[in-house]
Structure formats: structure tokens, C-alpha cells
């Protein structure tokens, strides 16, 4: 990090300690009031109000519930910072005093529990903090800061919904787009790398058709339960036998549904699965293998009707620009110290953040911030039990507030100032 960037970072961040109580209050409020994807009206209103009070030009309702704030501060580049807002249909089991008790109606009309079990509430608080600090210290930087509170990341809808809402024409083109995610890792630490950083993801629904019958007369049926079971088992061989050891892929069956009563052979079965890949060629081969296996198992069972394979959602491969990643890594090491900044390989999690950089054809960089209490993480790492700690999407996942909150705010400020320092 050069001297100008370091000086600017010191100036912009000097009020962080004073802002921290308000950010903690905001975070706990968001955590206790989560909202499902594309339903983030309360969260969006809080974000918009925060930005207006800081002096931003605010546009709401972008891509349904998205919020965009612009802070123009003289001639210079535009930098975009993004945070996702949505929560998950998961019942929280953290036992925190500010734990969610919320239920909501999902897109299919079912009432479900809702919890911020992925950390997007922390992301919103981070961006709100960075936005406020930049507004308070306009003499320390130059250009335009664009902050984006995005809906619907968990369903891969939000980024594209904003882009489809004439996003590129309505807002200035940035020179770089930046975002971060709280993850399992020692709180206060940062991790990232150039190149692929989060996987491409494809979710599919497979509908298998059989012929129902009485449970005592299986000879009169084409049993979709057996068909589904054989399909699930055979799908396990896609990665183990069709993907090279030097490549990477994940195929996970998350839903297997069939029947209503133990003595009735049903007419159909439903399989829902998820695929993660880091290479376009591997993705193509894996999806083709899934289709081949599903159709072959159905044919082997004598299905009366070809299976239906329906895409549910898709996340793009998220690739960090090499030059921009290096500049940010250098700035992080100078600000946080090299011991707190780590190189990490691609994560099998998926993100729609990359849609913004792709749409604008500008560099994007995405990194991770640890949210696990340092001693807890160190003990688990030493014992080889990191897999036993709560991770994102676990009912027990909850980042420790401090210093996770401060670290995320600092990271956004330091990264943005790589371009905005005068």
C-alpha cells in the first residue's frame, strides 16, 4: 500500500471506534429481523435511511428491493462496494439474545422460519459502516463511491434482477467492483486469491415418472422409489469416476421425495440436486453425465414417461481479477499485517456477485473475512476438528461481533482507497 493510500485509510477510519456502537445496534437489529430473498423491504429501508443520513444520492427498488447509494466527491474513478441482504429459511439455534424468532411465507406459499445463518446481516453492517466513514472524511479521497445493497443472493436472483432493471444505464460505470463474505476462520483475518474464488453452481429438479400400485402388488407398478434410489446411488459416481483427480466438482442430492403412505407405490418421485464446478468444461461434462444417468435409470426401470429435468437456479463462476487482487492484497498486508492476510484456494460456495463485473466488463474482487472466535478456531485447527465448527447455513452459525465488525469495515475502506486515494 503506497503512502497516500495508507494516509487516506488512517483518516477515513479514524472515526470507526466512535461509529462502532451504532453499527453493533444495526447488526443486532438486522440479525433479529431477517427477510427472505427478494422480500428484503425492511432491510432495504434501513440501508436507504442510513445512506440518506450520510448524504448519499439514494435509489431504492432497484431489481425489486435493491438499494444504490452514490457519493460523488470530485473528479476521479468510481468504485462499487456491494453487500447482500437476504436471509435463509432456517430456524436459528444459536441461543443468542438477539436471535431471530421470525417466520415468513416463501415463494411457494409455505410458512418457514427465517434466520441470518449466512452472515448477510454482517455484510450490510460492514457496508453501512464504510459508507458512513467515507462520507465523514471527504477530504481524504476523491472520485465516486457507489454502494449497492443487493437482494436475493441466496436464490441467485438479486444481482441479475438489478442488472435487468437498467442498472448499467442508470448508474456510473465503476473501474472495479468489490465485495466480501464472512466465513469460518479466525476473526480479524482476511483470506483471498486471484483467479476463481467461488464456484459455479447449478441446481436441478428431476421428476421421475412411474406407475402407482398397491404395495402388495409391485408387479403391477413401475416403482419410482426404486428408480430414484438407483439414480441417487449412480449419481455418486459422476465425481468419483468421471471427473479427473486434478479437477474439482461436487454433486449433492439435497431432496428426495416420493409417496404418502407405506403401502402405496406412488406414481412419481422428485430429486433435487446441486452441482459445483470451477471449470466450464467440467461443468458441461458433469451436467451431461447427470442427464445421461437419469434417463438411463428411468429407461432401465421401464418408465412410462421420460424424466423431466428442470433447472432451478444457476450461479456463475466468480473470478477475481489478477492485477486488482494483487493491489488489494498488498494494501491489506500493509494495513492488517501479513500475519492476518492469507492466501486461500477457490471456495466451493457460490455467489452471484460476479454478475456485476461481467455485465460491466470491469475487474471484480471478492474476499473472505473470518468470523470465528480466535481461540476457538485455533484449538479446533490444532485438534483437526474444524469441520465440527458451525459454518455458513448452519442453524448455529453466528460470527462473533468484535472484531469481525471492525475488520470488515476496515477491509472495505482500505480496498476502495486503492483506487480512491487522491
Type and span of the H or E element at 18: helix 16-32
Enumerate the H helices of 141-279 as residue ranges: 158-164, 167-170, 224-235, 237-242
Predicted local confidence at residue 198, as pLDDT: 94
Measured N-to-C along each axis, helices 404-420 and 16-32 cross at an angle, to the nearest 10 degrees, of 120
Residues 6+ apart with CB under 8 A from 116: 30, 31, 34, 87, 88, 92, 100
Give the C-alpha separation, 229 to 245, whole Å: 26
Yes or no: say if 167 and 351 are a contact pair by the CB < 8 Å rule.
Answer: no
| Alpha-helix residue ranges (DSSP H) falling in 102-166 | 120-136, 158-164
**CB-based contact 194:265 (threshold 8 Å):** no
CB within 8 A of 251, min separation 6: which ones?
235, 236, 238, 239, 273, 274, 275, 286, 290
Q: How confident is the model at residue 5, as a pLDDT? A: 74
Q: What is the pLDDT of residues 340-366, one digit of tens each?
A: 999 998 888 899 999 999 999 999 999
Are 307 and 230 spatial neighbours (Cβ–Cβ below 8 Å)? no
247-to-40, 98, 274, 280, 285 alpha-carbon distances in Å: 38, 42, 17, 11, 12
Q: Is residue 4's pLDDT more than 80?
A: no
Q: What is the pLDDT of residue 43?
A: 98
Residue 347 DSSP code: B
Listed by start position, the domains of the chain span 3-197+317-420, 200-315
Q: What are the phi and psi torsion angles at 78 (to 5°)? A: -105, 130
Q: Which residues are annotated as a binding site for Mn(2+)?
A: 118, 120, 154, 181
Phi and psi at residue 380, in whole multiples of 5°? -65, -40
Check residue 187 and give its pLDDT: 98
Q: What percent of the chain has pLDDT over 70?
A: 100
* pLDDT value, residue 348: 87
**Residue 1 pLDDT:** 60
- Binding site per annotation, positions: 118, 120, 154, 181
| pLDDT of res. 383 | 96
The DSSP-derived string for 388-400 is GS--TTSTT----
Mean per-residue pLDDT, 145-151:
98
Query: Distance between CA atoms of 192 and 180, rounded to whole angstroms?
Result: 9
Q: Are 199 and 249 in contact (CB under 8 A)?
A: no
Q: What is the DSSP letter of 137?
A: T
Q: Which fold has domain 200-315?
A: Alpha-Beta Plaits (3.30.70)
Mean pLDDT within 191-216:
96
Task: Supply the mean pLDDT for the chain.
Answer: 96
Within 8 A by CB and 6+ apart from 152, the residues are 37, 38, 40, 63, 64, 65, 86, 158, 159, 161
Looking at the domain covering 3-197+317-420, what would its CATH class be?
A: alpha beta
Nearest residue to 391 (alpha-carbon basis) of 355, 347, 344, 346: 347
* Same-fold call for 3-197+317-420 versus 200-315: no
Cα-Cα-Cα-Cα dihedral sign, residues 379, 383, 384, 389? negative
Kindly write down the DSSP assignment for every residue of 226-259, as one continuous string: HHHHHHHHHHTHHHHHHS-TTS-EEEEEEEEEE-
Using CA atoms, how far apart are residues 313 and 410, in angstroms rounded to an integer? 33
What is the C-alpha to C-alpha distance for residues 193 and 322, in angstroms, rounded to an integer?
8
Mean pLDDT to the nearest integer, 42-54: 98
pLDDT at 3: 74
Q: What is the pLDDT of residue 367?
A: 98
pLDDT over 70 at 61, yes or no = yes
Mean pLDDT, residues 377-388 taken together: 96
- Reply yes or no on whether the pLDDT at 322 is more than 70: yes
Distance CA 28, CA 122 (A): 9
* Percent of the chain predicted with pLDDT > 90: 96
Distance of CA 404 to the CA centre of its chain: 17
Dist CA 58 CA 170 (whole Å):
12
| pLDDT higher than 80, residue 2 | no
pLDDT in tens, 223-270: 999 999 999 999 999 999 999 999 999 999 999 999 999 999 999 999
The region that residue 127 occupies, defined by phi over 0 for left and psi between -120 and 50 for alpha, beta otherwise, is: alpha
Element (H, E) at 409: helix 404-420
Amino acid at each position: 500500500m503506497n503512502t497516500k493510500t495508507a494516509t487516506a485509510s488512517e483518516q477515513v477510519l479514524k472515526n470507526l471506534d466512535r461509529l462502532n456502537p451504532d453499527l453493533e445496534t444495526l447488526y443486532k437489529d438486522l440479525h433479529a429481523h431477517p427477510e427472505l430473498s427478494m422480500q428484503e423491504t425492511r432491510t432495504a429501508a434501513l440501508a436507504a435511511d442510513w445512506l440518506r443520513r450520510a448524504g448519499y444520492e439514494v435509489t431504492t427498488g432497484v431489481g425489486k428491493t435493491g438499494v444504490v447509494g452514490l457519493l460523488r466527491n470530485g473528479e476521479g474513478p468510481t468504485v462499487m462496494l456491494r453487500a447482500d441482504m437476504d436471509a435463509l429459511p432456517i430456524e436459528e439455534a444459536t441461543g443468542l439474545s438477539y436471535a431471530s424468532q421470525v417466520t415468513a411465507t416463501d415463494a411457494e406459499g409455505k410458512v418457514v422460519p427465517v434466520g441470518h445463518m449466512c452472515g448477510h446481516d454482517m455484510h450490510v453492517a460492514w457496508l453501512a459502516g464504510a459508507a458512513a466513514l467515507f462520507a465523514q472524511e471527504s477530504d481524504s479521497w476523491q472520485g465516486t463511491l457507489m454502494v449497492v445493497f443487493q437482494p436475493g443472493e441466496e436464490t441467485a436472483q438479486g444481482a441479475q434482477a438489478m442488472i435487468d432493471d437498467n442498472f448499467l444505464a442508470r448508474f456510473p460505470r465503476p473501474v472495479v467492483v468489490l465485495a466480501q463474505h464472512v466465513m469460518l476462520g479466525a476473526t480479524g483475518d482476511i483470506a483471498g486469491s486471484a483467479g476463481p474464488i467461488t464456484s459455479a453452481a447449478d441446481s436441478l429438479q428431476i421428476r421421475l415418472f412411474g406407475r402407482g400400485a398397491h404395495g402388495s402388488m409391485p408387479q403391477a407398478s413401475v416403482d419410482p422409489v426404486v428408480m430414484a434410489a438407483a439414480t441417487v446411488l449412480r449419481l455418486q459416481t459422476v465425481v468419483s469416476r468421471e471427473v479427473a483427480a486434478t479437477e474439482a466438482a461436487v454433486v449433492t442430492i439435497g431432496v428426495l421425495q416420493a409417496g404418502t403412505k407405506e403401502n402405496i407405490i406412488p406414481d412419481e418421485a422428485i430429486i433435487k440436486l446441486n452441482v459445483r464446478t470451477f471449470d466450464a468444461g467440467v461443468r458441461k461434462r458433469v451436467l451431461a453425465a447427470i442427464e445421461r444417468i437419469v434417463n438411463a435409470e428411468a429407461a432401465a426401470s421401464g418408465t412410462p414417461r421420460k424424466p423431466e429435468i428442470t433447472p432451478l437456479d444457476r450461479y456463475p463462476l466468480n473470478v477475481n481479477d489478477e492485477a486488482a487482487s494483487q493491489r488489494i492484497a498488498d494494501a491489506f498486508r500493509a494495513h492488517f499485517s501479513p500475519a492476518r492476510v492469507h492466501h486461500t484456494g477457490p471456495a466451493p460456495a457460490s455467489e452471484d456477485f460476479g454478475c456485476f463485473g461481467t455485465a460491466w466488463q470491469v475487474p471484480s474482487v471478492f474476499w473472505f473475512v473470518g468470523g470465528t472466535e480466535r481461540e476457538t478456531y485455533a484449538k479446533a485447527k490444532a485438534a483437526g476438528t474444524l469441520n465440527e465448527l458451525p459454518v455458513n447455513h448452519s442453524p448455529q452459525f453466528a460470527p462473533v461481533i468484535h472484531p469481525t465488525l471492525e475488520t470488515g469495515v476496515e477491509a472495505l475502506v482500505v480496498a476502495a482507497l486503492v483506487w480512491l486515494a487522491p
